[in-house]
Chains A and B, each alone.
Chain A
Amino acid sequence: MILNEKKRVAFKTLGCRLNQYETDALVTDFSQAGYELVDYNESPDVVIVNTCTVTNQSDHKSRSVISQTARKAKNAVVVVTGCMANNFKEKLESQENITFVVENSRKSSILTLVDAHFSGEIAHPDQLPQDVFRYEPVKKSLHTRSAVKIQDGCDNFCTFCIIPMVRGNAVSRPVADVLESIRKTVENGFKEIVITGVNIGRYSDGATRFEDLLAQILEVPGDFRVRISSLEPDGFGPDFVKLFAHPKLMPHLHLCLQSGSDKTLLRMRRMYDVEQFRKTVTQFRAIYADFNFTTDIIVGFPGETEEEFGQTLEAIKEFNFSHIHTFKYSVRKGTRAERLENHLPEKVKTERSLQIRDLSVENKIDYFNSFIGKTQDVLVEKVAHGVASGYGEHYIPVRFKLAGAQKNAIHKVRLLERKGDDENSYLFGEAVL
């Protein structure tokens, strides 16, 4: 539907890369339908809040954003979608400040719902088709990089995780659709594509597994590079490591360890142990010595002893993660971990979380310092006051001065020094012309 009177739409996104991708795809949808993209402070006609529910904190943030948005955009149609919409559907539907609550499986059809609403039709979200892969390739976006979704859902049933309940069973997008989406996204001008999903290592379409798909993606013609979003450590085969020799594939993985204790990993129902994780890291670094590993760690999982936590600290030092996304364990209703014994006090979780944060900063500084004097190809995401900023191949934030630097361009940069606060460190460099 092309609108006679240009409507204004605003987006708020919480949580993971997958949510960000789905929002970007919706931005493309609304933009192509003639909607103007605005901030939620600028009196939008529609606000879409794409929520997260992975932790208590995510719930809190999502609730807060919904309230704030509804308050500021008083007369707007407020659409709440994302994982929290699945987890607390009935509760959200009863809130007067929300117009529509749309489950993840119907998220890709939000434009249809909003158009119908503005046309005076009585529309209900439950009438929308369910298709988790219906998203158009991203054209108009809130980000410089574009994600392409290859998979959704998860069947691992880790004991702490609510995601299988809110994202559903694991499903994989057909190979041909993925490759077509990559081609179109490249045609739309994106220089970096992030392969995303809920558990992408479990990708399976006929005989095609994750690394087979990745090999095909790397052979798509065009000037672009490929990054992999969060990955479970157990879902890929022996050929995976070799693929990183391809110049398009960036040397960085966010490989989710969660704990450095085998006992804790078993209680979490993770499918690997520390030794297997070590094997993977060793394989990578034997070939690519400066390969960047980042990770997720859950602290204060039920029953986590001082000894088990100590093993996590040791693992962090050993694997030299340059960044750690630390989650204090929080109960998700309906998960197995909710029923485990020995839940830890918040104080213990906070103390342990701080210890991990300190180690993470140390690792980050060491890792960043090891790049001083080297060069990186930096994709520019922002240019302000003559300073360009973006990320190098290893996902290190880099800034440099260059007259006429453009967003979405790749520049070779020699890295000169580390700047910024510890946690917000970046490398400053000079463009190699």
Chain B
Amino acid sequence: MSIKVRYFASLKESIGRSEDNLEIAGLATVGDVWRYANPNKVLPDNILAAVNMDYVEWDAAVNDGDEVAFFPPVTGG
């Protein structure tokens, strides 16, 4: 299946890229997507996840065509 992964802010800087386009079978959850895309990267504390621009937990399911995003706590306003 096809998954677009996006990274923002300090997380984007620390892993050195803003997105990945994955073509892989067998990714069931948001946590799987992180581990596949960043196999050697310890997950920084407090990272948030979204699927198709809605917040989700790490065990949320992913489906073909989803956009998964990872980012640090938000600091707007």
Verify that A and B bind, or say they do not: no
Could you tell me which B residues sit within 8 Å of A by CB distance? none
